Structure 1
């Protein structure tokens, strides 16, 4: 039997599997444990408490049937079963799921050893005829404890084999009853194991169905997020695009924090394309975008492609001095790339940029259009001043006043 569910995490979808022993694959098991582990711990604690009570009651019944049996019943109860239960209660919540389930398996096996021994030992003649403790242990392990099926299978099989061997080799059970007792034990063992299988199969299949639904929802959410990222990313450069820029600036310009917006233009880019071709122009844009991405990608600092050969750099909580240092580093960073520009006729033979800087002071609200317009005016003045430089928008305003006067 195999059940699959898919996850779109990564390039390859995850496939949840369930084998013939009802074992999940590692990913599914760990996910199930993360979601339901504490429920399992609580269920096991309650079951162990009930099991101790059953063990005490049947210990009393043994002592009533055979008073001398207290010599073995009480020591096993006091020095094996109770210490195990105390240890289990104390540490079960901190054990990993594999160790926890193996510990449960071991505890059920321990509880079954004494009843099987008392079926075999000739000194417990009456008990061997009436002993149903082995069957109770098998029922307890398969149904109440609900051993994981792989453990239930081996526990039930081993318990049945040793019980039948104890019956067949017993010197006190009448020969004509040995076959009947063996069939009784076998019938109960099969019934209990099948009940465990049905319960565990339903648990596992229900989880596979729910996990598949969750993984599909997660895949859809991931796809939606990826789509949103792609819709705000420039395909050529990998930088945020104009849509992202507009959304961010719309938020930044209306709050009380200061902000700096820079319009960046590649100098003589048309001549670059005309001389080297558009593929070379695209590669130039990618190189410059990578430089921006590596140097100017921090919290509250990003660079976006505005369009064509223009980029926009925006930063929060920066005043004029920080803006000047940042603008200077932007100009220097691109010049340091030493990208050849054979088409220039102004004495430069490498790619450079011009930068216009707009300032939004603290506690001043404005609009995205106004800030971009101020940065664009400053960029225009930087071009007039010979390119490969930056201009603050206050300087651009002073220049405009002088021209108008």
Structure 2
């Protein structure tokens, strides 16, 4: 049976209810039906055991009541055979447990009454008086041996007791004292065994309730874990696998790849002129377009045993296992064609078709099995640029032998090495707003990288490479330096934040370099905030923890970014005093459902109770902004209130302090 919220509520109320009050009939029925077959077998074998003892007691009939022994033994055997026959018939015909219990109770009453009626005819009344004491075995059997419902136990045991009490008082030919003692003994046995039967039934019911409650809690925990896992691995807008999930899928494919002869293909997809589409039609139309594209890409990928995911913005990734580069070429062509078949009008493409198209670049693993995901993604990105140079709406497969000399110089590590020297790196700022007042609280600094042709390279491509090569250390310092310079030069008067790589955070000299930057530009430390991503498990990193403590003592704000997407967040907020905690955009986008809204509300309440200021990313609609206001969120960030822009082009309204 499905454990619903209604059942969970019933269980909670039943556990809180006093023992003396009536039980929940629905839950009682559940308990009785639980392990039904096993309990039916218990009745069956219990009857066999009871009949065996009942017949064996015939030996005492022969010894104590020899004058009627032949009839008593015959009664025992007859009642035993009929009782077993009825129970076996009921088992084979799948009688309910309640019916089998009633048959067993009738067998007990019949066995006791039939024996007593014939035993009263004996001339050995004194011996019978002593032997009748064993009639309490039937009472105990009804109340304790068999697991009858209390009403069945009470009726059957009371019937046996009243029969023996009546026989003792009115039929037994012994002294009155003996008869009164015997009657009192039976009545006491009935009362105490009935009480024990009721207590045992009550305890069984309570045990069942607690076990059921544990199952409900376990099920809720599993469902919550599955939901969190789905949120952490699913793009909120399109429902596709997100960047984290795609990276993990590649690892899984690599494990399969090691044992077969196939190759792994990576297809990087970019929507042509998507910024123009957004600017002309609006972001809602842009989101609708991305959802339609995602559905088409996913359907095509599934049809070709591939995996589609959204890598960020208007970029998508498809992973596949192929035998040759021709198979990868065929899949890339199908993906491009699937988007063209949608015939989504594009008002500003500059090409004759006037529809939304995609450009794709693909790369393939090599026989030495030494290529990692980011290397393949980098190669696919280079092939994607070739597709754009070729006029877009097409695809290219990366081939090292055919890449010209100019493109070889566009290698990402080489670009990163030249980034500062050639001024290929720049920053843009995305405003952070107070949810209640609407005033600007600060700006988040975002790094941008262009190749030698002046084309933007996706952060999803160059950031992992920069971290892998160590280039992120100097680039990150440059970004922080530039942000502080702009703060002072343009008189923003607000907090400016910058993301910190784990490589930077673990560098011993990092706090000193930050202090030097602040001193050089004359910027108050509290005007700078460093964002630590939740995925960085800083708790076990002694150097990272020491650096954070030094930065806080300096006066620099420490923010926790992307809360809820990784596994280190709860440990971090317990260990560190963050000035602001930023909840990942996926939780806000999931608020279209009641469960999603409850999840976000619980997260906000948790953070507020711990004393953290809360910032939610990804605000794209007025309804989302209104929801954040109702939840008591302090700050927000998203395309609705402000896009990332160069400082020269953005408005700089009056600001308030954050944290």
- The TM-score normalised by the length of structure 2 is 0.51
Which residue number corresponds to residue 340 of structure 2?
A: 335
| Residues matched between the structures, number | 391
Listed as ranges, the gaps of 5+ residues in structure 2 are 16-20, 410-659
SS in 1 for 2:354: coil
Query: Would the aligned equivalents of 2:276 and 2:348 in 1 still touch at CA under 8 Å?
Result: yes
Report the CA distance shift for 1:88/1:228 in structure 2 as closer, same or farther (over 3 A): same
Cα distance in 1 for partners of 2:33, 2:298 equals 37
Cα distance in 2 for partners of 1:215, 1:192 equals 34
Residues 342-366 of structure 1, C-alpha deviation per residue, up to 9 Å, x if partnerless?
2222112222222211111455221
Which residue number corresponds to residue 393 of structure 1?
A: 398
- 1:314 deviation in Å? 0.6
Cα distance in 1 for partners of 2:108, 2:33 equals 31
Cα distance in 2 for partners of 1:210, 1:397 equals 66
Query: Would the aligned equivalents of 1:116 and 1:166 in 2 still touch at CA under 8 Å?
Result: no
Which residue number corresponds to residue 458 of structure 2?
A: none
- The TM-score normalised by the length of structure 1 is 0.78
Cα distance in 1 for partners of 2:375, 2:319 equals 14
Query: Would the aligned equivalents of 1:301 and 1:316 in 2 still touch at CA under 8 Å?
Result: yes
SS in 1 for 2:210: helix
Residues 143-183 of structure 1, C-alpha deviation per residue, up to 9 Å, x if partnerless?
23343435423433444456567778x66668978887655
Cα distance in 1 for partners of 2:33, 2:58 equals 41
Is the counterpart of residue 265 in structure 1 residue 286 in structure 2?
Answer: no
- 1:76 deviation in Å? 4.2
Aligned-residue RMSD, C-alpha: 4.1
Compare relative contact order (CA 8 Å, sep 6+) and give the higher one, 1 or 2. Answer: 1
Listed as ranges, the gaps of 5+ residues in structure 1 are 1-6
Query: Would the aligned equivalents of 2:240 and 2:310 in 1 still touch at CA under 8 Å?
Result: yes
- 1:321 deviation in Å? 3.1
Cα distance in 2 for partners of 1:336, 1:345 equals 19
Q: Tell me which moved more, 219-228 or 101-110.
A: 101-110
- 1:278 deviation in Å? 0.7
Which residue number corresponds to residue 25 of structure 1?
A: 27
Which residue number corresponds to residue 71 of structure 1?
A: 71
Q: Tell me which moved more, 331-340 or 83-92.
A: 83-92
Quick one: which of 241, 259, 281 aligns to 2:286?
281
When you count helix as a share of all residues, which structure comes out higher?
A: 1
What does 1:6-405 correspond to in 2, within 5 Å?
14=8, 15-16=10-11, 17=14, 20=22, 25=27, 29=31, 33=35, 47-48=46-47, 50-64=49-63, 65-71=65-71, 73-74=73-74, 76-77=76-77, 79-82=78-81, 85=84, 99-100=96-97, 102-120=99-117, 123=121, 126=125, 129=129, 130-160=131-161, 184-253=185-254, 255-256=257-258, 257=260, 258-297=263-302, 301-361=306-366, 364-394=369-399, 398-401=402-405
Cα distance in 2 for partners of 1:369, 1:264 equals 15
- 1:209 deviation in Å? 2.9
Query: Would the aligned equivalents of 1:253 and 1:360 in 2 still touch at CA under 8 Å?
Result: no
- 1:285 deviation in Å? 0.8
SS in 2 for 1:391: strand
Query: Would the aligned equivalents of 1:8 and 1:219 in 2 still touch at CA under 8 Å?
Result: no
Cα distance in 2 for partners of 1:272, 1:123 equals 106
Cα distance in 1 for partners of 2:394, 2:277 equals 19
Query: Would the aligned equivalents of 1:265 and 1:355 in 2 still touch at CA under 8 Å?
Result: yes
Query: Would the aligned equivalents of 1:117 and 1:166 in 2 still touch at CA under 8 Å?
Result: no
Cα distance in 2 for partners of 1:377, 1:176 equals 110
Report the CA distance shift for 1:114/1:213 in structure 2 as closer, same or farther (over 3 A): closer
Cα distance in 2 for partners of 1:193, 1:128 equals 26
Q: Give the 4+ runs in structure 1 shifted more than 4 A.
A: 7-13, 21-24, 40-50, 82-92, 127-130, 160-168, 170-184, 401-405
- 1:259 deviation in Å? 0.9
Report the CA distance shift for 1:203/1:24 in structure 2 as closer, same or farther (over 3 A): farther
